[in-house]
Structure 1
Amino acid sequence: MNYEKVHTEYRVYSIEGRYVNLGLLESFLNLLNATVKVDVSGYSVQGRPIYKCQMGRGDTKILIWSQMHGNESTTTKGLIDFINFLQSGTDKANQILSEYTFVVFPMLNPDGSEVYTRVNANEIDLNRDFQELTQPESKLLMDCHNAFKPDYCYNLHDQRTVFGVGLTGKPATMSFLAPSFNEEKEYNDSRIKAVVAIMKMVKSLQHFIPGQISRFDDSFNSNCVGDQFQSLGTSTVLIEAGHYPNDYEREETRKYVFIALLSVFYSSSENVVVDCVLSDYLNIPQNIPNYYDIVYKNVRVNYDNSDLITNFALQFREQLVNNKVVFNAFVAKVGNFHDFSGHIEYDAKQALYSDSRSNFPILDEKADFSLNNKLKFVNGLVKN
């Protein structure tokens, strides 16, 4: 299958950018045909509807949710594209619908999505609420899991730009995890099934983003939804959408989310050798926080009346302004950091640093500065 061509055809172009709120989701849901049954499954803390989409008639039951964290919208976009494909009436879509029954929550945290925050309106991280179940959004998902009794769960998230693929120097564009079900991080049949599903996705994605796929940390935390569902015997897959070069809007990464979902449900169910697939999975490099957004090397600074050559790094902070996410660069680290890379790297060639406050970059300060008092940088980038 030509996955890129299929995505181009069924991508929902009316929904783009990092800010995806309930209004945008509803604009898509209102256009769905009878293939997808849409219901309000419950309500958020602030009374916003939480929509459930059901489609398919197959024996294998799949539960998927996205935007559990309100500021993690990339997987929502890829999931919307996938739903759009499933309602297409094509032979490929009908084949998937004949084999699977899907229950999908495209936006589990509409309150957080509205204001672009990780937490819900009670400032609770929903992904740390699956022991006590204190929040209506958490209870809704758990109640659905218990009633639907899915064979597989797919837990969709975004991850920050700080993550790289091991020590390879490449960004972690897509990361996966078959969560642990106990402190010992053992593998039972349920977890192995999740591993098999992940390797189907990885096999397809390697053609598009070779070397940019990592494995998320599998430390057990019973408060997390994935670990909780895995411990209940449901094969659970974590998908983390990360950074692709020069793609801060995550429009390229959404394509890889779509390809991951389409490939895992369209691929054949051939027999697999468990030892082999587990070995392949464990050989995926782990996610490591070893990236900054921008790194400046060989910068001359004046510190304690002495000239020094150093490096410094910036990290973008995301802020919602007029329904658009803007990226503001702040100084995150100063000094030597050989094990870190920058998504953008700039060799200052010993040019002298200066800003309106000092001749030395200060941690947590906004990145507006000059080199040699000539080349001006605004928000970390060269001013034209």
Structure 2
Amino acid sequence: MEYENLHLKYKQPTIKGRYLNLGMITPILNAMNTNNQLQILGNSVQGRPIYKYEIGHGATKILMWSQMHGNESTTTKGLLDFMNMLQDASEITTKILQQYTFCIVPMLNPDGAEVYTRVNANEVDLNRDFQNLSQAESQLLMQCYRDFKPNFCFNLHDQRTIFGVGTTGKPATVSFLAPSYDETKAYDAARLSAVDVIMKMVNVLQRFIPGQIGRFDDGFNINCVGDTFQALKTPTILIEAGHFPEDYEREITRKYIFIALISAVYSDSEEALLKDELSNYRSIPQNIPNFFDLIYKNVAINYDNSINMTNFAIQYREELINATIIFNAYITKIGELDGFYGHQEFDCEGMQYSDNNCNFPKLDDKADFSLNNKVKFVNGLVKK
């Protein structure tokens, strides 16, 4: 299957970048509503509609939701591209819709999406609310789950640029998890079914991003939606969209989310799953927070009239300004950086640090500085 060509064909052209709110996706959803597939589940805390989209007539029912954290939009983009494909009367789509029925909630937290925050309007993390069910959005997803009675659930998220694939030095571009259903982290039939689906996706994605697939931590928390649904014996798959080199807008990662979703429900080969997929799943390196956005090594600093050598790292903060996400660079760590990697790294070769305030980097300072009063860095990068 020509996965990348499929994405070029079905990519929604009106959405891109990191900021995605309800107003941007509503026209897309309305255009897809060709046969009453689109319904309003209910409303968010601030009264925004939360939509569900149902399509297909197959016996296997899949519930998918995205952007329960309002600042995690990559999987929403990939999901909308996938939904666009499901609209087409192609041979692939016909087969998928004969086998599956989808119930898709593309934006569970429209209030958080509006202001680009993880939490909802009541400052509650919806992914920690599935025992209390204190929030309108959590209640709506749980009611949808009970009414639809899915055979599988797909829980779609973004993860930060800090995550690498184990200690390989490669970023975790896409990560997966079959959540635990209790503290033992054992594998029952439902969790093994989730593993099988994950391995279908992993086996395809390894063709495109070899070594850039991680396994999310499976620490049990019954308050999380995935753990709750897994405990209710519904195979649940967590997908985390992460960083691809230089892809801060996550348009490349978006493509891999689209490919993952197709490969979960359609195979272009007749090969059966391997018998020991659990072993293969557990061999996927776990995510480790061992990346910074930028690292500077071998920097000279003048401290108390003495020249010392150090290293420092910066992390971008994503800040919503005029409906655009701005990546502002701040100094995050100073000193020993063994075991850490940078998405970009600079060997400063003993050049001396200075900024407008002092002669050494400080935590939480904006990353605007000079080396040898000659090479100027603005927002962490060399000013050209």
After TM superposition, the score normalised by the length of structure 2 is: 0.98
- The answer for the alignment partner of 1:306 in structure 2 is 306
2:59 and 2:36 map into 1 onto residues whose CA distance is: 17
- The change in CA–CA distance for 1:35 and 1:216 in structure 2 (over 3 A counts) is farther
2:216 and 2:356 map into 1 onto residues whose CA distance is: 41
The AA in structure 2 aligned to 1:224 is C
- The answer for the alignment partner of 2:226 in structure 1 is 226
8 Å contact kept, 1:35–1:55:
no
* 1:186 paired to 2:186: yes
The AA in structure 2 aligned to 1:151 is N
- The answer for the alignment partner of 2:115 in structure 1 is 115
SS of the equivalent of 2:9 reads helix
- The answer for the alignment partner of 1:146 in structure 2 is 146
8 Å contact kept, 1:36–1:55:
no
CA drift of 1:270 comes to 6.0
CA drift of 1:304 comes to 2.5
| Structure 1 runs of 4+ with >3 Å offset | 268-274
SS of the equivalent of 2:222 reads coil
* 1:358 paired to 2:358: yes
SS of the equivalent of 1:256 reads helix
2:271 and 2:294 map into 1 onto residues whose CA distance is: 44
1:333 and 1:36 map into 2 onto residues whose CA distance is: 53
Superposition map of 1:331-342 within 5 A: 331-342=331-342
- The answer for the alignment partner of 1:127 in structure 2 is 127
SS of the equivalent of 2:8 reads helix
8 Å contact kept, 1:314–1:330:
yes
Q: Deviations over 1:354-383 (max 9, x none)?
A: 001111100011010000001111100111
CA drift of 1:13 comes to 1.4
CA drift of 1:271 comes to 4.8
8 Å contact kept, 1:369–1:377:
yes
1:293 and 1:13 map into 2 onto residues whose CA distance is: 28
CA drift of 1:332 comes to 0.3
Identical aligned pairs, as a percentage? 62
8 Å contact kept, 2:166–2:285:
yes
The AA in structure 2 aligned to 1:152 is F
1:172 and 1:345 map into 2 onto residues whose CA distance is: 17
CA drift of 1:34 comes to 2.3
The AA in structure 2 aligned to 1:37 is Q
The AA in structure 1 aligned to 2:161 is T
- Unpaired runs of at least 5, structure 1: none
Decide which moves more: 168-177 or 141-150: 141-150
- The answer for the alignment partner of 1:53 in structure 2 is 53
Superposition map of 1:143-292 within 5 A: 143-267=143-267, 271-274=272-275, 276-292=276-292
- The change in CA–CA distance for 1:212 and 1:47 in structure 2 (over 3 A counts) is same
Taking only aligned residues, the RMSD between alpha carbons, in angstroms, comes to 1.0
The AA in structure 2 aligned to 1:249 is E
- The answer for the alignment partner of 1:382 in structure 2 is 382
2:310 and 2:266 map into 1 onto residues whose CA distance is: 51
After TM superposition, the score normalised by the length of structure 1 is: 0.98
1:27 and 1:116 map into 2 onto residues whose CA distance is: 20
1:216 and 1:35 map into 2 onto residues whose CA distance is: 38
2:62 and 2:360 map into 1 onto residues whose CA distance is: 54
CA drift of 1:9 comes to 0.5
2:53 and 2:265 map into 1 onto residues whose CA distance is: 17
8 Å contact kept, 1:300–1:350:
yes
1:238 and 1:30 map into 2 onto residues whose CA distance is: 27
SS of the equivalent of 2:31 reads coil
Decide which moves more: 29-38 or 92-101: 29-38
* 1:43 paired to 2:48: no
8 Å contact kept, 2:30–2:38:
no
1:285 and 1:97 map into 2 onto residues whose CA distance is: 33
CA drift of 1:137 comes to 0.2
1:190 and 1:27 map into 2 onto residues whose CA distance is: 37
CA drift of 1:94 comes to 1.1
Aligned residues: 383
CA drift of 1:36 comes to 6.7
CA drift of 1:336 comes to 1.3
1:165 and 1:251 map into 2 onto residues whose CA distance is: 20
